[in-house]
């Protein structure tokens, strides 16, 4: 049984029956000494004739960042591989699921109330994506097996499902990267992979499976 006083990261189950994410968690060996939360906004500057300074236009805010520094995982006493035992699980949180076209959503829990819906004694009640993992291996067995590591973990905020989504008031351009798909781009831009036809139509794409890296795609806004 898990110790409710231990901090942990828990994967939120997303359509596991349809090839999505199954619930899992990793409990920290030692609770973090500090948790850093940052939030910012990046207003666009609209220059207008006759004004001494540009006018700020607020279209969207930047996601909040949740940062943990120097999380220690030590498997020396049991002579276990710290990568296999702990680090590998966190690496999986950076990989996108081919069915959902995104990495898993996670929650940070510390105290009682382990479910994603509960809010009692939780340091943070929101959903997050893991966006950064920096691992430093500091102890090895004679055969080279890593047994101790410190990790720096960064999470980015996922907007609540109840939050009303509004599209930008102007279209913008997306530069196609290697491995990009229309469904994946649509999921990132609109939070809905099913809107890929909107992008295909705007760019005259007949075959959605043929996207050339380096191509610039017009991402049209959703007018409501």
pLDDT value at position 119? 43
Instruction: Enter the CATH code of domain 7-158.
Output: 2.40.30
Contact (Cβ atoms closer than 8 angstroms) between residue 113 and residue 120: yes
Q: Is residue 214's pLDDT more than 70?
A: yes
CA distances from 67 to 71, 127, 131 (A): 11, 14, 10
pLDDT digits (tens, 9 = 90+) for 77-126: 999 999 999 999 999 999 988 888 889 888 888 765 434 444 444 445 57
Q: 172-219 domain in CATH 3.40.50.720?
A: no
Contact (Cβ atoms closer than 8 angstroms) between residue 180 and residue 213: yes
Report the candidate in 149, 143, 159 with the shortest Cα–Cα distance to residue 60.
159
Other CB atoms within 10 A of residue 82 CB: 25
Sequence ranges of the domains in the chain: 7-158, 172-219
Q: Measured between alpha carbons, how far is 222 from 197 in angstroms, rounded to an integer?
A: 12
pLDDT digits (tens, 9 = 90+) for 165-184: 444 445 677 888 888 888 88
Cα 48 → chain centroid: 37
pLDDT digits (tens, 9 = 90+) for 177-204: 888 888 888 887 877 788 888 888 888 8
Q: How confident is the model at residue 51 (pLDDT cuts 50, 70, 90)?
A: low
């Amino acid at each position: 049984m898990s110790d409710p006083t231990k901090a942990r990261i828990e994967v939120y189950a997303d359509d596991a029956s349809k090839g999505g994410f199954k619930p899992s968690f990793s409990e920290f060996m030692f609770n973090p000494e500090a948790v850093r939360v940052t939030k910012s906004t990046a207003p666009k500057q609209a220059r207008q004739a006759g004004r001494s300074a540009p006018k700020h236009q607020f279209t969207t805010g930047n996601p909040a960042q949740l940062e943990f520094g120097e999380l220690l995982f030590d498997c020396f006493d049991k002579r276990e591989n710290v990568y296999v035992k702990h680090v590998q699980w966190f690496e999986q949180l950076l990989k996108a699921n081919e069915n959902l076209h995104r990495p898993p959503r996670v929650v940070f829990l510390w105290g009682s109330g382990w479910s994603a819906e509960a809010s009692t004694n939780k340091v943070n009640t929101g959903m997050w994506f893991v966006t950064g993992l920096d691992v430093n291996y500091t102890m090895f067995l004679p055969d080279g097996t890593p047994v101790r590591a410190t990790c720096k973990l960064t999470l980015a905020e996922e907007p609540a499902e109840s939050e009303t989504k509004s599209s930008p008031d102007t279209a913008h351009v997306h530069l196609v990267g290697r491995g990009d798909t229309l469904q994946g781009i649509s999921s990132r831009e609109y939070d809905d992979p099913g809107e890929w036809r909107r992008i295909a139509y705007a760019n005259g794409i007949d075959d959605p499976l043929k996207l050339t890296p380096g191509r610039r795609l017009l991402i049209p806004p959703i007018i409501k």
